[in-house]
């Protein structure tokens, strides 16, 4: 009985960290990309994220090269009609949904 209790407790303790990462996979045709000077970098609006107006952004540790690659990936997906995937943290939603990883979908 103790093992079941400990396993349940461990699963419950680890579940918030697992649930904080979310995946969007769709066409970015309706997304709006904006670039803000002064440190905020690239912001994406109208995704299906739970943040205000579907916003996802890069965190403080993202480099300008990360933002440039993201901008290029979204531009390629928009022009070719391909889907893109974006992993983001939703623990701070609706105020903050920082991008963790992204790329073109394999379809």
Q: Could you report the per-residue pLDDT of 54-89, keeping only the tens digit for each?
A: 999 987 778 888 888 999 999 999 999 999 999 999
Q: Which residues pair with 101 in a beta bridge?
A: 87
* pLDDT, mean of residues 33-37: 82
pLDDT the model gives residue 11: 43
18 has a pLDDT exceeding 50? no
Do the Cβ atoms of 24 and 92 come closer than 8 Å?
no
Q: What pTM value is reported for the model? A: 0.74
d(CA 107, CA 86): 15
Kind and range of the H or E run holding 42: strand 41-45
User: Where do the domains of the chain lie, and which CATH numbers do they carry?
Assistant: 20-104 (2.40.50.50)
């Amino acid at each position: 009985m103790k093992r079941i209790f400990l396993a349940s407790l461990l699963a419950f303790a680890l579940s918030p960290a697992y649930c904080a990462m979310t995946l969007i996979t769709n066409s970015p045709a309706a997304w709006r990309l904006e670039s803000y000077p002064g440190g905020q970098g690239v912001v994406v609006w109208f995704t299906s994220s739970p943040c205000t107006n579907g916003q996802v952004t890069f965190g403080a540790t993202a480099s300008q090269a990360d933002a440039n690659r993201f901008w290029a990936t979204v531009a390629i997906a928009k022009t070719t009609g391909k889907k893109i995937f974006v992993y983001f943290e939703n623990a701070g939603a609706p105020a903050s949904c920082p991008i963790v990883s992204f790329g073109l979908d394999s379809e």
